[in-house]
Copies of this chain bind each other. A is one copy, B any other.
């Protein structure tokens, strides 16, 4: 099976990594629009235009399924990909993230004071798509959304274990740290799993839902027909290869995969 993974930049690599762990025998195509990253600060119409261009380019790759591993694009332009690539099955990160949060919520004893907290980029949070979708699934109103605009640039700087990242996240979540009942926090940005340790530190005892893992689990449930022999391959496409942050490549080199830029 040929699985496409689209992201505005390198963030979707956290999703790719989880997908490779879950589907270790498949062929992957990673498409990063590094010439136009970040999407999270752009207007909706601009984001939709960029996704349209990417979709036409992905149409030529003979995919069997496409994962939009970018929260901003999933929130704002999933229909653009679906329309252009029809009848290809296209999945965003929103549906898997929502499912994972709802599942976590239903596992825990019900408490009206328990908070569901969505953390993401400005554009994702502004869209409120996660709150809307979670409210469709469960009758629960204690849902908060918080944008963390500096988290992505700090992660790209490689400061995932830095006290500066901790102070920054602390600043973003300070309203929620005094909740008596530990809440459920969804990392609704594909960069954030790289810094999951820092998020857990500023929200101790909270249930942190990793959106990259959620996507892989969600795709596994779709019961695609998988390859029986081990022929894992990854093809890489970047709209600006020079703009790929080296830190993004480490995980794959550790997996024995190389990235030709």
Contacts and interface: CB of A to CB of B under 8 A. Distances in A.
Given A164-B167, A171-B164, A43 B150 contact: no
A37 B153 CA distance: 14
A41 interface: yes
A42 interface: yes
A65 interface: no
Interface stretch (A92-100, A240-248, A251-259): A240-248
B171 A41 contact: no
Contacts of A157: 149-150
Contact of A153 (B43, B149, B162): B149
A46 interface: yes
A173 interface: no
A44 B240 CA distance: 10
A256 to B, nearest CB: 28
Interface residues of A, number: 26
Contacts of A243: 41-43, 46
Interface string A19-53: 00000000000000001110001111110000000
A128 B153 CA distance: 23
A77 to B, nearest CB: 15
A24 B45 CA distance: 36
Contact of A242 (B43, B154, B241): B43
A243 B36 CA distance: 13
Contacts of A46: 35, 240, 242-243
9 contacts: A36-B36, A42-B240, A43-B241, A46-B243, A149-B157, A150-B150, A150-B159, A162-B171, A164-B164
Given A44-B242, A164-B164, A164-B167, 15 more contacts: A35-B42, A35-B46, A36-B36, A37-B41, A42-B242, A43-B240, A43-B241, A43-B242, A43-B243, A46-B240, A46-B243, A150-B153, A162-B171, A163-B167, A164-B171
Counting from the closest, the 9 A-B pairs by CB-CB distance are A43-B242, A153-B153, A46-B240, A164-B167, A43-B240, A35-B46, A42-B243, A150-B153, A164-B168
